[in-house]
Structure 1
Amino acid sequence: MVAYDVLRSTALAFITSLSLMPNTTTTDEVRFDMNKIRAARASNYTHTFGHNYFVSQTPPMQGTSDLDGFMTRVASMTLKLESETNEVKAVAVDEVQGSVVARVSYQMKAPGQDPVENDLVWWLWMTAEGTKVERSMEFVDPVATKELQNRMAASASAGAKC
Structure 2
Amino acid sequence: MTGETLYNTIRETVWTYIEAYSFSGPHGKPNIRLLTSLMSPEYQHSWGHNHMIRDMPRLQGVLDGEGFAAHLGSMVPHLESCRAVVHDMIVDAPARKVVVRNSFFMCPRGQGGGGEDGRETVENDVLWIFGMDESGSRIESAMEFLDAAATERIGELIAKAKERQ
- Asked whether the equivalents of residues 17 and 40 of structure 1 are also in contact (C-alpha less than 8 Å), the reply is no
- SS of equivalent to 2:100: strand
Question: Is residue 2:25 matched to residue 1:19?
Answer: no
Residues of 2 paired with 1:74 and 1:42: CA distance?
18
Residues of 2 paired with 1:67 and 1:40: CA distance?
10
Residues of 1 paired with 2:151 and 2:69: CA distance?
18
Pairing of 1:79-118 with structure 2 (within 5 A): 79-111=77-109, 112=111, 113-118=119-124
- SS of equivalent to 1:82: strand
Residue ranges of structure 1 left out of the alignment (5+ in a row): none
Residue ranges of structure 2 left out of the alignment (5+ in a row): 112-118
List per-residue Cα deviations over 1:68-120 (Å, max 9, x = no partner).
Answer: 11011111111100111110000011112101111111110112331110001
Residues of 1 paired with 2:21 and 2:38: CA distance?
10
Residues of 2 paired with 1:141 and 1:33: CA distance?
23
Residues of 1 paired with 2:86 and 2:30: CA distance?
18
- After the TM superposition, which segments of 4 or more aligned residues of structure 1 sit over 6 Å from their partners? none
Aligned with 1:67 (options 47, 58, 65): 65
Look up the match of 2:34. 36
Aligned residues: 154
Structure 1 length-normalised TM: 0.88
Look up the match of 1:146. 152
- SS of equivalent to 1:120: strand
Structural RMSD (CA): 1.6
